[in-house]
Amino acid sequence: IEWIEASSLNPTDDDEQVNKTSSWERLKECDGVVVPGGFGSRGMEGKISTIQFCRETGKPFLGICLGMQAAVIEYCRNKLGIEKAHSAEFFSDLVKDEEDAVIFMPEGDRERMGGTMRLGARETILKEGSIARSLYGKEKVMERHRHRYEVNPALVARLEEAGLQFSGRNTDASGERMEVVELSEKSHPYFVAAQFHPEFTSRPELPSPLFLGLLQACKTIIASDEV
């Protein structure tokens, strides 16, 4: 396993160029990539650049929580042409329902931080025919959450028209909370990201389906390269 600091992959960093180059070389040697969750803006551009690299080169990718949000931001920028797309967590002056690809959850409280996250197990409905549905083997799954921000539902239709499929959605009354995104297997070997945290319930002898899917995709590519 290669642990690569996301900030060393930031495309606009001119200092520590040697370290940056080394980090990219290490990334390119990986069979698959996980972009995990986190808090704060440090390394965010590196995560977005990493996801773009994985998407464009066909390298298996799994995004978790902030990793899913970064995947949506990357797609908005490079497929929808919204150059300043970002998260409202980091910028307050984004154009509403255009540049704010990720927004603060409506039921949240910006003034009070304690006990305001969306926490615990929540039900997600997986779309029939999707990679996620195939991996889990069932329509409804319970996965644990830990976040305050979410994908802006106002941009979902445009993103899906451009090829990014929201294959998992919440079962709350609104029906607008996005839980899983993916690219079709016709366009990418494995490009999947989830708002929830599959690592919270994954075990060595009972791995999360999303992690298992990532490893299976890596194995398939390695085997084909050896033929």
Give catalytic residues, as residue numbers: 65, 197, 199
Q: Are strands 118-126 and 140-147 parallel, antiparallel or unpaired?
A: antiparallel
Give 125's strand partners: 140, 169
- Nearest alpha carbon to residue 28 among 51, 48, 53, 47: 53
**Is the separation of the CB atoms in 67 and 36 below 8 Å?**
yes
**Is the separation of the CB atoms in 181 and 167 below 8 Å?**
yes
d(CA 145, CA 198): 9
Q: Taking the CA atoms of the chain, what radius of gyration do you get in angstroms?
A: 17
